[in-house]
Amino acid sequence: MTATPHPDELAALVQRLTDRSKLRSEDTLRADVRQLLLTGGLNLAEHDLDVDLETPVGDRRRIDVEIGYTVIETKRDLRSTTVLADAVAQLQGYVAARSEQTGQRYVGILTDGADWRAYHLRGQELVEATRFTLKPRTEAVELLVWLEGVLATRQNIVATPGEIARRLGATSASHELDRAALAALYEQFKDEPTVQMKRQLWARLLRSALGTQFRDDDDLFIEHTLLVNSADVIAHCVLGVAATELHPATLLLGRTFEQAHIAGVVEADFFDWVLEVPGGESFVRTLTRRLARFDWAHVEHDVLKVLYESVIGAETRRSLGEYYTPDWLAEQVVAETVTDPLHQRVLDPSCGSGTFLFHAARRYLQAAEDAGTPLAEALSGLTDHVAGIDLHPVATSLARVTYLLAIGREKLTSPQRGPLRVPVYLGDSVQWQQRLDLFAQGYLIIRTHNEGQLFQSELRFAEHLLHDSRRFDQLVNELADLAAKPRKSGTVPSLKGLFNRLAIAKGDQEEITANFRLLCQLVDDGRNHIWSYYVRNLARPMWLSLADNRVDALIGNPPWLAYRHMPAEMQDSFKDLSQERGLWQGGEVATHQDLSGLFIARAVEQYLRPDGNFGFVVPNAVLDRPYFTGFRSGKYHTSTEHVDVAFTDSWDLRRLRPHFFPRGSAVVFGRRTASGTAAALPRETQRWSGRLPANTESWEKVQPRLTREEALLSQGREGVIESPYQPRFGQGATIVPRMLFRVERQDAGPLGLGGGRVSVRSSRSSYENRPWRDLPDLEGVVEQEFLYPLLLGESVLPYRLLQPRTVVLPLEGTTLMDHTHGHLERYPDLAQWWAAAEELWEQHRKSDQLNLTQQLDFRRKLTLQIPAPPLRIVYGASGMHVSAALVEDPNSIIEHGLYWAAVATREEGMYLCAILNTPALTQLVRPLMSYGKDERHVDKNLWQLPIPEYDTANPQHRRLAELGEAESHRIADLELDTAKSFIRMRQDVRRALADSPHAEELDALVTELLD
């Protein structure tokens, strides 16, 4: 193979490819494409692949370039639609011919050097799956990564998170091609009975746990199929098996693992339907070639979560409350919680892709090695001591492979290893509906009927059979295997040998035989072998909840899902379970209630033995927000059981940057205690701060960047005397959509308008949402009396107001007019403007609940300002620093970006300004604020601080008012550059305040007042 060229030569080659000039011939283009393939580091020699030009395909046709299972057609310029259509038709013939001749799945590439398009066959149609466009400054490596994803020719790619996301993630050529091929297979065969049955079971399982939150659509099923099939292949690669040499059925059904006595990793499931449709085996072979490129033997972290997160969209993961934990944090939570790994049984009840399981398994194996435990005994002990559950079939498939990665190829392939069962189960840890759907009268009941089937059929297993998990799993597996073996239809083989081998009591044999008859019937009906998988996984949470099987430690990251994002059905169940355990707060914080607290309470209730430990990653709100008050109490009492926990410690992770979750996070630790001995979460916490490095997989790389210090939590309203100002402050009016109300004055022309009339047009903003941002301006004339100054969040600096905006409001005195009330018709110009605004509102509003007047005065936030008091204090609702000022214009309307309250005197206003604008106040309120990328949304959280009402008899209060007045004059005289953003101007004001001779005294007074 030609040596890899110098980067400058490769850049020159790519530059030539982008040149579509008429001087270039197709022969020259073909030669350049061939040179790129040979010299681009695509490892063609390792595959013994040639890059052939002009290869015959029959009927005197010749393929421009052929390499492996890819044919490339070159054209001088594809920008012509006619040329493109003819080229696609030509390429279709080549791909179809090669696929038919070889029985392999072929890919076609069409290129003019600058435009690269990859196609696959969908039935007899050639369909584009992915494309890449070369631009003048495109780096050669970007094209080569795309090409390599199509060709799958590299070998021994290090399985780092970056490489997995780059080469297998949703934007990679590999994923786009494989997903397109799988979607085509599904579309063609989705009505086949076996495909329908597996899709229905997949949907039934997820719906039983998630209710209407579950998105039951074909796209998600296809994504899950691709990911689980990928996990099955990777599992073989982890063991060093030559996966590309195995039959697809061997890969997806786990026959190699059966022979190796490794159970619970790869098995028949919802997603092996691809084996039962024409073209499915070819798809699996191609998928295997792509995945076998990576070196899976040396993996030190849960890298498969990267694959999951890069394929399953962020919105889908958010709707499920899925936020995957970085390895370094999981490693530390495990180390803190699992203090005696050889003697603590550990469960992650929401294991996701297996991050916590990976580190718990590594910790156990290291302890076993240090203790000199023989390998077979160590691995047997591991599977008894580290287990996981998740309700997501894709997550559990990935977690099983992650479990193997934790053990490592060397141990898995050692002759000293004994039989192994990976204890990661598909199940609902919360058990939302299990009491109704699965267990009744001492039996595990699995209904096997299809949707719409008239008569129901059930598999029934006595609960006591579940007590011995290994025997139960073996029983169900062997029943399914026996049912699937060739036999005369309608006959049922004897189970005598199975009963003897597993020592099944006579009292259970009749029921098991009835189950076996049903399994045989399901085989005869074409609904085969999924049932052993389904039964074993749904039974596992119940088995672990039995008192004798409860674990010594719970670890993990429970689902984070706010009540307001749950569907109605799930909200009802969540509220009932939360109220029963004293977790429901209701009132104004109801919509902020979060599943994570209930999940932990349920996990402790069901799976943790008395004196067992737990360590969970949680939303930071758990530490100090009022809606987690019940959870922090540690008392989770129901009518049948009193569960108490003693919280021991917490880690506050809000100040780590960048955030590794969309929301601020924390970790809480505790143990289950005897009834009546709960201990609330301590106010003392360990606060972590620092900037995380770009490579955050390992603790060794993260630890030097961290600062950990003791701090106190402000736990919402618990024990805190709220300020008497709290009920006095309210939010301003929701004057949106902006373009219907906010206006700019226009030139009235040389003749003017007369009569106090003003020409206006919509004032636009980059913050507008669609569809309003895409609509043309409203333009017109309105009477001067209906134009009001509008104060926004961005209008307020510390001690100072910026120039207000202008807003059109149909206010007559204290009455908000519309076409039915308030006699709008008396004001023809306003009436015309309002009619145009109403028409746009009716056309584009998202809900039919509110007309435009109701929208403008939502919750009376506008009319409560009228008539306005002479003096008001306003402060910004968002931002980490509080900015407050005194409003002396009673005509000003306050928008929802501000909170406001009337004050009786200027002295009271200056007193509040002095407190709110002082840096000491910001530090005190920070722990009470919500977190995103930084602390944000001051809202009314600051009134949880005990800010006293102004008292003229109090010398401290009078002094604060005097200092506030002095600072107000200083800032009024401060020369500001109004061309800057309001954020920059606020920073300038804060710098001036920090340099003030009163700064130190103000901080001391506010600290003394509120501490």
pLDDT (tens digit per residue) in 234-281: 888 888 888 889 999 999 988 898 888 888 888 878 899 999 999 899
Strand bridging mode 787-791 / 893-894: parallel
The answer, yes or no, to whether residue 437 has pLDDT greater than 50, is: no
Q: What is the arithmetic mean of pLDDT over 845-872?
A: 86
Structure tokens given for 403 = 């479990």
**Complete DSSP assignment for 180-222:** HHHHHHHHHHTTSHHHHHHHHHHHHHHHHHHGGGS---HHHHH
Q: What pLDDT does residue 386 have?
A: 97
CA-closest candidate to residue 801, choices 925, 906, 901, 913 = 913
Task: Please tell me the distance from the alpha carbon of residue 119 to that of residue 127, in angstroms, as a whole number.
Answer: 5
Within 10 angstroms of residue 585's Cβ, the number of other Cβ atoms is 20
Residue 452 pLDDT > 70, yes or no?
A: no
* Per-residue model confidence (pLDDT) at position 314: 59
Quickly state the pLDDT bin for 801 (edges 50, 70, 90).
very high
What per-residue confidence (pLDDT) applies to 930? Answer: 57
Q: How far apart are CA 924 and CA 916, in angstroms?
A: 11
Exposure of 668 in the CB half-sphere (CA atoms within 13 A) = 28
Per-residue confidence (pLDDT) for residue 300, from 0 to 100: 63
Q: Would you say 875 and 829 are in contact if contact means Cβ atoms under 8 Å apart?
A: no
Query: C-alpha angle 77/78/81, rounded to 5°?
Result: 130
pLDDT of 933 reads 46
What does the alpha-carbon distance between residue 727 and residue 933 come to, in Å, rounded to a whole number? Answer: 29
> Token pair for residue 173?
């050529």
Q: Angle between the 140-151 and 7-17 helix axes, to the nearest 10 degrees? A: 80
**Count of C-beta atoms within a 10 Å radius of residue 824:** 19
Give the pLDDT band of residue 621 (cuts 50, 70, 90): confident
Read off the DSSP letter of residue 276: G
Q: d(Cα 238, Cα 605) in Å, to the nearest integer?
A: 36
438 pLDDT above the threshold of 60: no
pLDDT, residue 188, reads 92
Q: What is the mean pLDDT of residues 568-596?
A: 83
pLDDT of residue 934: 52
What φ, ψ does residue 709 adopt, rounded to 5°? -145, 155
* Spatial separation of the C-alpha atoms in residues 360 and 335, rounded to whole Å: 8
What gap in Å lies between CA 451 and CA 434, rounded to an integer?
19
CA–CA distance, 196 with 71 (Å, rounded to integer)? 35
Find out whether 175 and 404 touch, Cβ atoms under 8 Å. no
Q: What percent of the chain has pLDDT over 70?
A: 88
Query: Does 611 have pLDDT greater than 90?
Result: yes
The pLDDT of residue 652: 93
Listed range (65-74, 393-402, 525-534) with the worst mean pLDDT: 525-534
Element spanning 139, H or E: none
Looking up tokens 């006579």 gives: 506
> What average pLDDT score do residues 63-71 get?
85
> Where do the domains of the chain lie, and which CATH numbers do they carry?
7-154 (3.90.1570.30), 434-549 (no CATH), 558-712 (no CATH), 728-740+787-812+852-1010 (3.90.220)
Give the tokens for residue 551.
């674990």
- Compute the distance between CA of residue 32 and CA of residue 40 in angstroms, rounded to an integer: 11
Opening angle at CA 601, ends 659 and 593, nearest 5: 55
**How far is Cα 861 from Cα 858, in angstroms, rounded to an integer?**
6
Q: What is the pLDDT of residues 652-663, one digit of tens each?
A: 998 888 877 777
Beta pairing partners, 745: 760
- Dihedrals φ, ψ of 585, to 5°? -105, -35
Stronger pLDDT, 168 or 375, i.e. the higher one = 375
Residue-wise pLDDT for 822-845, tens only, equals 578 888 899 899 999 998 998 888
Q: What band does 432 get if pLDDT is binned at 50, 70 and 90? A: low
Confidence of residue 322 (pLDDT cuts 50, 70, 90): low
pLDDT digit string, tens, across residues 88-106 = 999 999 888 888 888 778 8
Position 143 scores a pLDDT of 86
Confidence of residue 435 (pLDDT cuts 50, 70, 90): very low
**Sequence-separated (6 or more) residues with CB below 8 Å from residue 284:** 229, 233, 248, 251, 252, 274, 275
pLDDT digits (tens, 9 = 90+) for 188-203: 999 998 898 889 878 8
Under the banding of pLDDT at 50, 70 and 90, the label for residue 536 is low
Cis peptide before 658 (omega within 30 of 0): yes
Task: Give yes or no for a contact between 732 and 895, defined as CB atoms under 8 angstroms apart.
Answer: yes
User: Does residue 62 contact residue 94 with C-beta atoms inside 8 Å?
Assistant: no
Q: CA-CA distance, 192 to 365, in Å (whole number)? A: 45
SS3 (DSSP) at 416? coil
Q: Is the Cβ–Cβ distance between 280 and 186 less than 8 Å?
A: no
Q: How confident is the model at residue 645 (pLDDT cuts 50, 70, 90)?
A: very high
Of 95, 101, 98, which is closest to residue 117 (Cα–Cα)? Answer: 95
Q: Grade residue 719 by pLDDT with cuts at 50, 70 and 90.
A: very low
Strand boundaries in 60-180, DSSP class E? 61-67, 70-74, 107-111, 115-122, 125-133, 157-158
β-strand pairing of 757-762 with 935-936:
unpaired
Tell me how far apart the alpha carbons of residues 424 and 416 are, in angstroms, rounded to a whole number.
23
Residue type for position 117: R
H helices, E strands: number in the chain = 36, 39
Q: What is the pLDDT of residues 458-499, one digit of tens each?
A: 778 887 887 777 788 778 878 877 887 777 766 778 898 898
CB contact at 8 A, 467 and 546: yes
Distance (Å, rounded) from C-alpha 305 to C-alpha 405? 13
pLDDT, greater one: 155 or 29? 29
Beta strand pairing status for 884-887 and 608-619? unpaired
Distance CA 169, CA 154 (A): 16
By C-alpha distance, which of 867, 862, 939, 936 is closest to 899?
A: 939
Give CA angle at 802 (800, 806), nearest 5°: 140
Reported as a single tens digit per residue, the pLDDT across 742-793 is: 999 988 777 677 778 889 999 888 778 888 888 889 999 998 999 999 999 9
Are the beta carbons of 767 and 735 closer than 8 angstroms? Answer: no
241 alpha-carbon distance from chain centroid = 33
**Given this model, what pLDDT does residue 433 score?**
53
Mean pLDDT value across the chain: 84
- Only one residue has tokens 């604008």, namely 917
**CA 672, 678, 684, 689 torsion-angle sign:** positive
